[in-house]
Chain A
Amino acid sequence: MAEVVVGVLRRAILAIGVGTLVAAILRLRGSGGVPPRQGSWRQLSGPDFR
């Protein structure tokens, strides 16, 4: 019984580890930074086009 529990735990830890590794790789590969999340729209006018 104890062996079964340990096996399940081992597999769960392995799954979490693999998931963390994949997430870390995806996180590192992600590009573009974080989009602006607070702010407002400003109308563009003449000086913005120079």
Chain B
Amino acid sequence: MAGDARLAHHFSSLSVQAHAARLGMWLFLGTEVLLFGGLFVGYAMYRTVYRAAFVACSHHLDRALGTVDTLVLITSSFTMALGLHLARGGRARQATAALGATLALGLAFLAVHGHEYAGDIAAGALPGRLYRAGVELPGAGIFYTLYYFMTGLHSLHVVFGLVLLGWLTRRTARGDFGAGWDTPLELGGLYWHLIDLVWIFLYPLLYLI
């Protein structure tokens, strides 16, 4: 295929290249699912062993903030999908606005969650042997170890996602993406949706027991 500077020499066509990029990104997302998956396994195991402590500790988590976080992320996923859709349709300015909204929502998530952490720490709900809050059942410390690890690892991924989004928003504003080519935006979007996907499972398992 002559003439297309974006086509790498080892691919036969731009569509094969895009398909390969998409498959590669999905495989990477698969590894992220397994990374978090190990934590879900630890959660499943300890919840089975320490049922009472998990229920009690879950009630001490701020359910309202957790729900707000969930809605914020769901909405950010929506604006992200919208952003890609608009970019594909050639509407760069609207796409940039949608991506900007996604960024703002992502930052809001971190802010809300940081506020939640502050509250937990102030109450003495610390991980493992450091646990000092109210629940006097065995396994309370383990619940919080898992809580901080799972949400902490998730928040770290949100930070990575925000950096990625920042870069993509700049490029969208410059008009880099359109109907012919949008691969980086699509792949970045997939990463952001995965962050939402993980939280969709974290939320009920941690907050709604």
| A and B bind | no
